[in-house]
Structure 1
Amino acid sequence: MKLGLHISNFTWPDGPAALAPTLAEIASAADEAGFERISVMDHVWQIGVNGPPELDMLEAYTALGFLAAHTRRAKLLTLVTGVTYRDPGLLAKAVTTLDVLSGGRAILGIGAAWNEEESAGLGLFFPPTKERFERLEETLRICRQMFDGDETPFSGTHYRLTRLLNNPQPLAEPRVPILIGGGGEKKTLLLVAKYADACNLFPGPELQHKLDVLKQHCDTVGRDYDEIQKTVVYRFDVGERGEKVAGVIDDLRRLAAMGIAVVHGGVRDAWDTKRFEIFRDEIVPAAEAL
């Protein structure tokens, strides 16, 4: 099992003036501690589970480019890109740029988008749910085609591209992985079975059921269920002095038994980078042994 660090809160003790060096220190510490991937949210306002919208928030792909320069090994992604925030040709180009400049470490994390409030606030396109899922499927097709170097024109219901030129091509082999976030059983998990290299789910009581639904979709479309990497979001609460480490490791063991390959989540007060020593010394080695 591998671990991922999710950075979703940028309101740190020394304020915006220290945000860049603090973010660099967090990313470097996580990279050195053995986190296999680092992600940010694709939001332009803070979301309710973390605090009011007025809290500090960075644009995702600019932030990932910064993280690429301050890490050496960790893969980089959004958890997850809102499909309506960027047209698919530009999105594929942004992810490819991240991949090339990071030495092949990009992952495309993507979903159907949900935050109507921030979209209305900043004038971002936000169609009804049905259309967002239609656009998500077309975007997945376009991105896969561009990552594969296929310049054939694309004509869909919502997007028409006359030449899918994407040079330079990504460095990732065999191509940039695509992760779809969300557990919707009729649409999202079907798209995972059809197009994705990985899924991202919540680790609650419904997790096994969601995995079973995904397997059913894989059987329906003729996809090998074991080809899809299963990941979950998680909140790493190790306690103030590491007193909760055993509980975290127990959770990881339970998730590994269900076939979860990556546990990906936030670390409380990540700006205090000494916390990553606990991961380096105890949690990462335990996870890798599962």
Structure 2
Amino acid sequence: MRLALHLNDYSHLGEPGDMGPALARIARTAEDVGFARLSVTDHLWQISQIGEEEEPMLEAYTTLAFLAGHTSTIELQTLVTAGTYRAPGLLGKIVTTLDVLTGGRAWLGIGTGWNEQEATGLGLPFDGHDGRYERLEETLLICLQMWSGSAEPVMGEHYQLGSTLNAPQPVSSPRPRILVGGGGELRTLKLAAKYADAMNVWGGQDAGQKISRLRERCEDVGRDHEEIERTALYPLDVEGPQGADGLLRELRRLHDLGFTTVYGAVPDLGSEAQLEILGSKVIPEIGTW
């Protein structure tokens, strides 16, 4: 099992002028202590589950580009991109650029998006429930076509592209990996079954059910479910009441359910101390599972 550090709270990084150096130190430490991946949330305002919307929030792909320059091996992605926030051709180009400039470390993490207040507040495209799923599938198809080398037009219901020319092509072979994230057991997991290299769900008590539903969706589309990596989101808190031992028990639970990578935010990440504890007490242990 592997750990991925997820960044979703920038409120502990100090004043704006301090945030870049702090993030650079955090990313380097995460890489040094053995985190396999580094993900950032794709929001523009802070969400209510984490804090107040006025708290600091950084744009995801600009942040990933900055962190790429301060790391050399850790894989980089959003968890997850809101599918309507960027035109599909632009999104494919962004991920391609990140992949090329990092030597093949970029993922496309993507979902439907859900924060209508944020989207409408900043004038970003949004849609109803069905429309967001339709747009997500078209976006996946467009990115896959861009990464295939084809420059043919795309005439979808929601997006029309005169050409999917994409030069240079990604470094990752055969293309950047795709992670589809979200809680929907029917439509989200069906899209994961059709297009994704990995799926991501919340690692709570119903996480095992999500794996069962993924198997069913794979059967529906005629794909081997073992081709899809199971990943979960779960907080990496080593300073709470249960400490590192309690976290290890939860990670073992997820491992035994079939998850192989856990993405997690570290609470109050204002320094690298908790990352170092994770690197000394947790990552070596789960690496043997």
- Answer whether TM exceeds 0.5 for this pair: yes
If the TM-score is normalised by the length of the shorter chain, which range does it land in? over 0.9
Q: Which letter does structure 1 place at the counterpart of 2:244?
A: V
Aligned 8 A contact 2:46 2:53 in 1: yes
C-alpha deviation, 1:27, in angstroms:
0.6
* Aligned counterpart, 1:227: 227
- TM-superposed CA distance for 1:13, in Å, is 5.2
| Residue 204 (1) aligns with residue 166 (2) | no
CA distance in 2, matches of 1:185, 1:252: 22
Measure the CA separation in 2 of the matches of 1:266 and 1:139: 27
State the alpha-carbon separation in 2 of the partners of residues 253 and 93 from structure 1: 38
For the 8 Å contact 2:238–2:278, the answer to whether it is kept is no
Q: Which residue of 1 aligns with 2:288?
A: 289
Aligned residue runs from structure 1 range 68-107, under 5 A: 68-107=68-107
How far apart are the structure 1 equivalents of 2:13 and 2:261?
A: 30
Say which is worse superposed, 105-114 or 263-272, in terms of deviation: 263-272
Tell me the TM-score normalised to structure 1 length: 0.97
Q: How many residues align?
A: 289
Deviation readout 1:25-66 (Å, 9 max, x if unpaired): 111110111100001111110001111110000011100000
The equivalent residue for 1:272 is 271
Using the TM superposition, give the Cα deviation of residue 183 of structure 1 relative to its aligned residue in structure 2, in angstroms: 2.2
- Once structures 1 and 2 are overlaid, which stretch shifts more, 43-52 or 200-209? 200-209
Q: Matched residues, percent identical?
A: 49
Give 1:283 deviation, angstroms.
Answer: 0.8
Partner of 1:157: 157
Q: Do 2:13 and 2:22's aligned partners in 1 also have CA atoms closer than 8 Å?
A: no
Amino acid at match of 1:105: R
Greater CA deviation, 242-251 or 6-15? 242-251
Distance in 2 separating the partners of 1:151 and 1:271: 45
Question: How far 1:138 moved relative to its partner?
Answer: 0.4
C-alpha deviation, 1:14, in angstroms: 2.6
Matches within 5 A, 1:130-279: 130-239=130-239, 244-279=243-278
Q: Does 1:44 align with 2:26?
A: no
Q: Distance in 2 between matches of 1:224 and 1:89?
A: 29
The aligned amino acid for 2:246 is: G
**How many Å apart are 1:222 and its aligned residue?**
0.7
Query: 1:140: Cα distance to partner?
Result: 0.6
C-alpha displacement at 1:211, in angstroms? 1.0
Please say if residues 186 and 217 of structure 2, whose CA atoms lie closer than 8 Å, have aligned partners that are also in contact: no
Amino acid at match of 1:134: E
Structure 1 residue runs of 4 or more that deviate by more than 2 Å after TM superposition: none
Alignment partner, residue 58 of structure 1: 58
Give the structure 2 partner of residue 11 of structure 1: 11
| CA apart distance, 1:137 | 0.4
CA distance in 1: counterparts of 2:23 and 2:144, whole angstroms: 31
SS of the residue aligned with 2:234? strand
Whether the aligned pair in 1 keeps the contact of 2:8 and 2:41 (CA below 8 Å) is: yes
Cα deviations across residues 250-279 of structure 1 (Å, max 9, x unaligned)? 111111111101000111232211222212
TM-score, scaled to structure 2: 0.97
SS in structure 2 of the partner of residue 31 of structure 1: helix
